[in-house]
Structure 1
Amino acid sequence: MNAIAAAVAASERTHTGQVMVAVEADLPLDALWRGHTARQRAEQAFAQLRTWDTEANNGVLLYLLLADHAIEVVADRGLRSRVPEAQWAEVCRRMQQFLREGEHEAAVLAGIEAVTVLLAEQFPTTDGVQHEDELPDRPHLLG
């Protein structure tokens, strides 16, 4: 957990975006009853964790559903309009390589690294000025 929080903090020093990580062992019972997918649950987590609530609308949630070995990346509207879906899918593919081998922390760190590149391209820091850390850096354990 500390390595992930440190990676998020380091990432956010290179851009003005906000990175959040959420991990869930399995879908909650109500989500199962409703037939929700990992994507739908990730979107719920994005809202519940207020990842959307950033000044520049450039928050990103990396969501892992361990029971299904599912990974979802949910980007706020400021990023969705700038980064093609194929690039978000590539982030998921990178993470999936580690997740298949049971290397959960390595999967998250690879995701943070890939998202950092995208955020630094679209929302670079200006004049080396540190921006406000709007969201917590520590991963959220859901469920």
Structure 2
Amino acid sequence: MFSFLNKKPANFLTDAEKEQVVNAIRQAETRTSGEIRVYIERHCRYVNPLDRAAEIFFSLKMDQTKDRNAVLLYIAVKDHQMAIFGDEGIYKKTGREYWENLVNRILQYFNKENFVEGICEYVHEIGEGLRKFFPYDKETDHNELPDEIVFGY
């Protein structure tokens, strides 16, 4: 599925691509009080990438947003795995089908090796989904989590 086996996670994206992803996150977060993060590492420590995504989600303290409305896109480069982990506030409002459809759309990009486009599409779609349930309020909203991509080992 992926052909980037020899690249380190930090080198998986060029500086321009990293900036493109961060800009997509910032743009998406202008329409919602929700928070979006992207985490990329070489290997998934668990058989199930969702378990690893949950571990990272909590270690990044993403569960401490005011409305419990943070979402993590997890990518294990060498293991060809990805997962999306949303906090309880989001999951309760969107349901399982929403997440499954989102993963399938992202995988269409990844299968064509359009990784940056897939990540940016994910960010855009999550932003739109969050906007419905957690709209942006310029009076009360502030950026609760950093927007930069997090790279693991």
Same fold (TM over 0.5): yes
What is the identity percentage for the equivalent residue pairs of Structure 1 and Structure 2?
21
Q: Give the distance between the partners of 1:10 and 1:130, measured in 2 at CA.
A: 18
| TM-score of the pair, normalised by structure 1 | 0.88
Instruction: Work out whether 1:112 is the aligned partner of 2:123.
Output: yes
What displacement does 1:90 show?
1.1
Instruction: Work out whether 1:26 is the aligned partner of 2:36.
Output: no
Paired positions, count: 136
From 10, 23, 41, the counterpart of 1:6: 23
Runs of 5+ unmatched residues, structure 2? 1-17
- 1:54-73 aligned at under 5 Å gives the runs 54-73=65-84
- 1:29-40 aligned at under 5 Å gives the runs 31=45, 35-40=46-51
From 57, 60, 64, the counterpart of 1:49: 60
- 1:82-101 aligned at under 5 Å gives the runs 82-101=93-112
Q: Which amino acid aligns with 2:42?
A: A
Q: Give the distance between the partners of 2:100 and 2:152, measured in 1 at CA.
A: 23
What displacement does 1:53 show?
1.4
SS in 1 for 2:130: helix
Instruction: Work out whether 1:142 is the aligned partner of 2:115.
Output: no
Runs of 5+ unmatched residues, structure 1? none
Q: Give the distance between the partners of 1:109 and 1:60, measured in 2 at CA.
A: 14
What displacement does 1:51 show?
1.3
Question: Can you list the C-alpha shifts for 1:93-127, whole angstroms capped at 9, x where unaligned?
Answer: 1111111122221111011011111100000123x
Q: Give the distance between the partners of 2:95 and 2:133, measured in 1 at CA.
A: 12
Q: Who is 1:15 aligned against?
A: 32
Q: Give the distance between the partners of 2:84 and 2:122, measured in 1 at CA.
A: 9
SS in 1 for 2:62: coil
| TM-score of the pair, normalised by structure 2 | 0.83
What displacement does 1:7 show?
0.7
Question: Can you list the C-alpha shifts for 1:64-102, whole angstroms capped at 9, x where unaligned?
Answer: 122232221111111111011111111111111111122
Q: Tell me whether 64-73 or 8-17 shows the greater mean CA deviation.
A: 64-73
Q: Who is 2:135 aligned against?
A: 124
What displacement does 1:130 show?
6.8
